[in-house]
């Protein structure tokens, strides 16, 4: 659906040039929700704005449905952009127009007949749950309602792609949840491809299928959200995940552990069905070990249950090796994160 190749974006030139995107390469499949996460200034907005050419790439290709958008004439680009909706952190609504007229604006631009506009706007307001606010002005709406209007407007031309730049960053946690639920709904209902930019890992965790992690203009890590959560490769990714699960061992704990030779601290990672395995009981029954639970966390990553437990085990090395091998074979990943 979207294919980005060797994309570079440099703002300005000479000594003040800012290299905002460095050799980005990725594909987004039809119907996928693809997240891009990174700290402020990482280049996320630059990247998403290059997808619909709001920002023209310095070099590289942006191929949407087989067409390289960078090669199109102004007129062709305008047409191609109708199939790419976009929403922003600050909603960007017309303050002097009603909810109805905001949603109708893209249709009016295309000179759609009045009756078609009326029907389409009503349908979209129904989808975003604002049918009874059609005549309200943006100043009379809450932040979440404004974003719903912006989503309805972005869907007016039946886009195939929706770009979301920090669409929930100005909203409180509860409203964020409801907007993310709405994005999930329209993704399913219209098989809409969604690319979303965020600096919040819980947004990625809740709705994305895959995610790219950006740092200083570069994509430093990319993969399925489950893979990124279960085995993050870079410090930046680990930092983002830590906002959700804090798995740092207290200093004092490791100190005390030095006095228990033969002990290991093990992280058990459970994904999907493996969350149902009674591995701790098996460690006790089969290997006569006494696992001590230090901490754990279980959560939902989109449609899959994901959890981990950090335990300490003490025993003979050969027994511990065999026990951990057994656990791994049962589909629960066991990693020794510290041993004495
Ligand atoms: N129009 C511009 N002209 C010059 N430099 C720019 C422009 N837009 C962005 N930059 C620079 O490019 C870099 C990436 O900015 P960008 O807005 O893409 O980051 P971001 O990841 O979206 O950050 P944030 O999370 O704060 O929105 C920054 O160093 C920024 O100062
Ligand atoms: Mg930004």
Which CATH number covers residue 264?
A: 3.30.70.260
Q: Are residues 44 and 15 in the same domain?
A: yes
Residue 49 domain-assigned (yes or no): yes
Check whether 303 has a pLDDT greater than 90.
no
Q: What is the pLDDT of residue 247?
A: 66
Q: Is residue 246 part of a domain?
A: no
Are residues 235 and 332 located together in one domain of the fold? no
Residue 340 has pLDDT above 80, yes or no: no
Q: Buried b vs exposed e over 140-165: b needs ≥16 C-beta within 10 Å?
A: ebebbbbbbbbbbbbbbbebbbbbbb
Q: In CATH, what number is assigned to the domain containing residue 47?
A: 3.40.50.300
Q: Which of 217, 241, 265 is the last residue of a domain?
A: 241
pLDDT of residue 140: 97
Residue 50 beta carbon below 6 angstroms from any ligand 1 atom: no
User: Residue 42 CA: which ligand 1 atom is closest?
Assistant: 21
Q: Span 294-307, mean pLDDT?
A: 88
Measured between alpha carbons, how far is 260 from 340 in angstroms, rounded to an integer? 7
Among residues 219, 241, 263, the one where a domain terminates is 241
Residues β-bridged to residue 63: 3, 68
Is 247 inside any structural domain?
Answer: no
- Mean pLDDT of the region 118-122: 97
pLDDT, residue 339, reads: 81
Q: What percent of the chain has pLDDT over 70?
A: 99
My answer on whether 162 and 230 are in the same domain is yes
Beta carbon of 147 within 6 Å of any ligand 1 atom: no
Q: What integer is the mean pLDDT of 243-271?
A: 79
Share of the chain above pLDDT 90, in %: 79
Predicted local confidence at residue 255, as pLDDT: 76
Q: Are residues 35 and 149 in the same domain?
A: yes
Residue 133 falls inside a structural domain: yes
The CA 96 to ligand 1 mean position distance, Å, reads 29
Over 80: is that where the pLDDT of 251 sits?
Answer: no
Cβ atoms of residues 327 and 268 within 8 Å? yes
Smallest CA-to-CA distance from 29 within 205, 239, 210, 290 is with 210
Average model confidence (pLDDT) across the chain: 93
- Same domain? For 33 and 128 the reply is yes
Total domains, the chain: 2
Mean pLDDT of all residues in 3-32: 96
Q: Is residue 123 part of a domain?
A: yes
Residue 282 has pLDDT above 70, yes or no: yes
User: Are residue 145 and residue 116 in the same domain, yes or no?
Assistant: yes
Q: What pLDDT is attached to residue 166?
A: 95
Residue 66 has pLDDT above 70, yes or no: yes
- pLDDT computed for residue 145 by the predictor: 97
CA-CA distance, 194 to 35, in Å (whole number)? 8
Nearest Cα neighbor of 79 from 160, 164, 174 is 160
By residue count, the chain amounts to: 340
* Residue 131, φ and ψ in degrees, nearest 5: -55, -35
- Do 266 and 127 lie in one domain? The reply is no
**Of 208, 241, 274, at which residue does a domain stop?**
241
Instruction: Choose among 310, 315, 304: nearest CA to 280.
Output: 310
- For the residues 36-65, what does the mean pLDDT come to? 96
Residues 200 and 94 in one domain: yes
Cα 82 to ligand 1 centre (Å):
25
CB atoms inside a 10 Å sphere around CB 52: 21
| CA-38 nearest atom, ligand 1 | 21
Q: Between β-strands 18-28 and 193-198, what pairing exists: parallel, antiparallel or unpaired?
A: unpaired
Is the pLDDT assigned to residue 112 strictly greater than 70?
A: yes
Residue whose Cα lies nearest atom 26 of ligand 1: it is: 40
pLDDT at residue 257 tops 80: no
Task: Please indicate, yes or no, whether residues 214 and 286 belong to a single structural domain of this protein.
Answer: no
Please report the atom of ligand 1 found closest to the CA of residue 197.
22
pLDDT of residue 277: 82
38 C-beta closer than 6 A to ligand 1 = yes
pLDDT-derived band at 153, boundaries 50, 70, 90: very high
pTM to 2 decimal places: 0.90
pLDDT at 252 over 80: no
Which of 55-69, 125-139, 241-255 is predicted least confidently?
241-255
Domain hosting 49: range is: 2-241
Work out the average pLDDT over 159-187.
95
Ligand nearest to the CA of 44: 1
- Dist. CA 41 → ligand 1 center (Å): 5
Identify the CA nearest to 220 among candidates 232, 203, 207. 232
Average pLDDT over residues 303-321: 90
Same domain, 127 and 59: yes
Determine, yes or no, domain membership for 112. yes
């Amino acid at each position: 659906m979207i294919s980005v190749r060797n994309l570079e974006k440099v703002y300005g030139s000479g000594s003040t040039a800012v290299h905002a995107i460095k050799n980005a390469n990725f594909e987004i499949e039809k119907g996928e929700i693809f997240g891009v996460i990174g700290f402020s200034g990482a280049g996320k907005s630059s990247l998403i704005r290059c997808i619909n050419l709001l920002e023209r790439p310095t070099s590289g290709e942006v191929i949407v449905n087989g067409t390289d958008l960078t090669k199109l004439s102004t007129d062709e680009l305008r047409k191609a952009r109708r199939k790419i909706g976009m929403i922003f952190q600050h909603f960007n609504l017309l303050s002097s127009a009603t909810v109805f007229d905001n949603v109708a604006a893209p249709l009016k631009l295309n000179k759609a007949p009045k009756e078609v506009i009326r029907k389409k706007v009503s349908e979209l307001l129904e989808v975003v749950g604002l049918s009874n606010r059609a005549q309200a002005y943006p100043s009379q709406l809450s932040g979440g309602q404004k974003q719903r209007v912006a989503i309805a407007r972005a869907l007016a031309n039946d886009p195939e792609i929706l770009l979301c730049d920090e669409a929930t960053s100005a909203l409180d946690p509860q409203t964020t949840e409801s907007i993310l639920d709405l994005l999930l709904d329209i993704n399913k209902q219209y098989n809409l491809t969604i690319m979303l930019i965020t600096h919040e890992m819980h947004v990625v965790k809740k709705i994305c299928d895959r995610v790219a992690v950006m740092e200083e203009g570069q994509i430093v890590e990319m993969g399925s959200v489950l893979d990124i959560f279960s085995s993050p490769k870079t410090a930046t990714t680990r930092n983002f995940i830590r906002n959700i699960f804090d798995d740092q061992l207290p200093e004092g704990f490791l100190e005390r552990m030095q006095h228990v030779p033969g002990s290991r601290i093990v992280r058990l990672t459970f994904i999907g069905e493996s969350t149902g395995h009674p591995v701790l009981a098996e460690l006790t029954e089969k290997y006569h070990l006494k696992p001590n639970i230090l901490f754990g966390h279980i959560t939902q990553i989109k449609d899959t249950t994901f959890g981990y437990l950090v335990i300490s085990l003490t025993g003979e090395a050969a027994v511990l090796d065999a026990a951990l091998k057994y656990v791994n074979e049962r589909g629960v990943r066991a990693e020794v994160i510290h041993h004495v």
